[in-house]
């Protein structure tokens, strides 16, 4: 790729060179958008099968339609998710925002691949894309979930500001850490590992009280199922970003 | 020398494209995941929970 670019700039006029620059940018942006749409659609589909029913069940506890711990003073609550219902506007929004979110992540992932190729000589292929996607999952979903588990609606938690700050900081620290482990030598990978650990040593913002609005089994299952769904979405995202990027290169 | 300059130039265009993509990506995520405006929050609500953004 690098050599081809160099040759191209050597033999063509400045106008053609500008064209190449535009092609490169266009390829990067369109690859990210295509991949974001594909991965976002898969993620939305999986969410409607696995995650949204639990989310709706959690809402029954959020609104008080069901109350845990109240029936006869026992710890038992009836299990069962309500149907998806007919609120198509709401569900359409969920699909739309999945596309926006995955396109956002796709753009960042594509930019990262480009930088790794230009500055570290990393080879980008659809197969390598699977690893990129999995690392994205680790940094953006898994690492923050260690401190702040995915929450059912109605979960009482610390202030939103500090949680967003810890969440963002953890993602950045994990991304930089993984990058150092993958692309640097000497002691830098060790620094990377420490960076990945650091947010968890600092600790995520939590309240000093448990509220337990929803049954713990439901919250736990919601957390794992949303992580599993995100793992699938991210793996496909990484594969697809790399696939479209390399396809655009060869066009 | 010539090749070096051009490699640098192509690296720079790659960097430009990457910075543009990064900026757009972060902007999209700010809207879909972080913005607390009520309309946005309500529309994105289920997706935020499903994707484990800190929601409210």
In this predicted structure, the answer to whether residue A43 has a pLDDT above a threshold of 70 is yes
Chain A: residue nearest B26 by CA? Answer: A104
**Could you give the C-alpha distances from A236 to A41, A106, A191, A221, B25, in angstroms and in order?**
11, 10, 29, 23, 17
pLDDT (mean) for B3-8: 54
Q: What pLDDT, on the 0 to 100 scale, is given for residue A249?
A: 82
User: A107 vs B28: CB contact, 8 Å cut-off?
Assistant: yes
In this predicted structure, the answer to whether residue A179 has a pLDDT above a threshold of 80 is yes
Q: What pLDDT, on the 0 to 100 scale, is given for residue A120?
A: 93
Query: Model confidence at B36, in pLDDT bands (50, 70, 90)?
Result: confident
Q: How many CB pairs below 8 A link A and B? A: 151
Query: Model confidence at A5, in pLDDT bands (50, 70, 90)?
Result: very low
In this predicted structure, the answer to whether residue A155 has a pLDDT above a threshold of 50 is yes
CA angle A165, A167, A169 (to 5 degrees): 65
Q: Which of B15, B47, B27 is nearest to A94 (CA)?
A: B47
A43 interaction partners in chain B (CB closer than 8 Å): 51
The answer to whether B52 and A228 have CB atoms below 8 angstroms apart is: no
A47 interaction partners in chain B (CB closer than 8 Å): 46-47, 50
Q: What pLDDT, on the 0 to 100 scale, is given for residue A46?
A: 98
Query: Model confidence at A74, in pLDDT bands (50, 70, 90)?
Result: confident
Q: What pLDDT, on the 0 to 100 scale, is given for residue B14?
A: 79
Q: Report d(CA A227, CA A233) in Å as an integer.
A: 10
**By percentage, how much of chain B surpasses pLDDT 90?**
50
Distance from CA of B27 to the nearest CA of A (A): 8
Helix intervals (H) in chain A: 2-11, 14-46, 52-63, 88-120, 126-137, 143-147, 160-183, 188-202, 216-250
Long-range residue pairs from A176-181, CB within 8 A, at least 24 positions apart, any chain: A178/A135, A178/A138, A178/A139
Distance from CA of B10 to the nearest CA of A (A): 7
Q: What pLDDT, on the 0 to 100 scale, is given for residue A224?
A: 97
As for the ipTM of the complex, it is 0.86
Of B28, B48, B53, the CB nearest to A103: B28
Distance from CA of B25 to the nearest CA of A (A): 4
B16 interaction partners in chain A (CB closer than 8 Å): 21, 25
Q: What pLDDT, on the 0 to 100 scale, is given for residue B7?
A: 55
Q: Report d(CA A159, CA A15) in Å as an integer.
A: 53
**Could you give the C-alpha distances from A109 to A76, A171, A240, A248, B21, in angstroms and in order?**
45, 13, 11, 16, 9
User: B21 vs A152: CB contact, 8 Å cut-off?
Assistant: no
Chain B: residue nearest A154 by CA? Answer: B56
- Which is higher by pLDDT, A70 or A79? A79
Which stretch of DSSP H or E encloses residue A86? none
Of A2, A103, A112, the CB nearest to B10: A2
The answer to whether A124 and A239 have CB atoms below 8 angstroms apart is: no
The answer to whether A114 and B28 have CB atoms below 8 angstroms apart is: no
B55 interaction partners in chain A (CB closer than 8 Å): 151, 153, 160
Q: What pLDDT, on the 0 to 100 scale, is given for residue A18?
A: 64
- Which is higher by pLDDT, A30 or B5? A30
Torsion, Cα A204 A191 A117 B28, to 10 degrees, reads 20
pLDDT tens across A81-132, in order? 998 988 999 999 999 999 999 999 999 999 999 999 999 999 999 999 999 9
């Amino acid at each position: 790729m690098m050599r081809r670019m160099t040759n191209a700039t050597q033999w063509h006029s400045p106008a053609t060179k500008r064209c190449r620059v535009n092609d490169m940018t266009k390829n990067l942006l369109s690859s990210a958008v295509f991949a974001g749409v594909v991965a976002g659609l898969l993620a939305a589909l999986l969410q409607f099968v696995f995650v949204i029913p639990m989310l709706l069940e959690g809402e029954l506890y959020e609104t008080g339609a069901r109350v845990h711990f109240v029936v006869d003073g026992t710890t038992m609550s009836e299990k069962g998710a309500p149907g998806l219902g007919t609120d198509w506007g709401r569900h359409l929004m969920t699909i739309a925002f999945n596309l926006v979110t995955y396109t956002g992540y796709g753009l960042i992932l594509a930019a990262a691949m480009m930088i790794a190729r230009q500055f570290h000589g990393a080879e980008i292929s659809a197969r390598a894309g699977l690893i990129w996607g999995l690392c994205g999952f680790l940094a953006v979903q898994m690492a923050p979930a260690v401190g702040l588990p995915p929450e059912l609606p109605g979960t009482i938690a610390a202030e939103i500001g500090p949680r967003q700050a810890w969440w963002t900081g953890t993602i950045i620290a994990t991304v930089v850490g993984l990058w150092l482990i993958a692309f640097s030598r000497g002691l830098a990978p060790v620094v990377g590992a420490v960076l990945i650990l650091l947010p968890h040593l600092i600790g995520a913002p939590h309240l000093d009280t448990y509220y337990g609005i929803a049954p713990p089994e439901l919250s736990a299952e919601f957390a794992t199922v949303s992580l599993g769904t995100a793992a699938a979405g991210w793996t496909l995202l990484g594969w697809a970003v790399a696939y479209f990027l390399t396809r655009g290169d060869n066009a | 020398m010539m090749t070096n300059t051009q490699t640098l130039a192509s690296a720079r265009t790659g960097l430009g494209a990457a910075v543009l993509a990064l900026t757009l990506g972060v902007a999209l995520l700010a809207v879909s995941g972080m913005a607390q405006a009520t309309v946005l929050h309500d529309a994105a609500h289920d997706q935020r929970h499903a994707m484990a953004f800190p929601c409210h």
